[in-house]
Amino acid sequence: MNDLKTGGDLGAASDLAALKARFAILIAFECGAAVLAVASLIGYFAGRLAWCLPAFCVVLVAAVAAQVWFIAAFRRIHTGDR
């Protein structure tokens, strides 16, 4: 069982590397989602494009789902699942 507070076992290093990789993916995804969200809002308010509001909502839901995906990694590490 991995215990990150006490250093864990030898698998803790690979768990940390996996978390770092997931974090990098999350940051890249969130930056892209932020750009798309701002573009959607500009299109909706400035361009009067009605389809931009649902696009904004889809991007928002995708961003939250990406954060849940990242947080799920902590639970997997805590319970020892791999």
pTM: 0.76
* 49: its two tokens: 């494009």
Mean pLDDT by 10 residues, the chain (82 residues): 54 82 96 98 97 98 96 79 60
Residue 6 lies in a domain: no
- Residue 50, classed as helix, strand or coil, is coil
CA distance 55 to 12: 39
CA distance 47 to 37: 14
Tally of domains within the chain? 1
For residue 1, what pLDDT is reported? 47
- Give 10's DSSP letter: T
Largest alpha-carbon pair distance within the chain? Answer: 56
Residue 57 lies in a domain: yes
Structural domain that includes position 35: 11-79
Residue 34 lies in a domain: yes
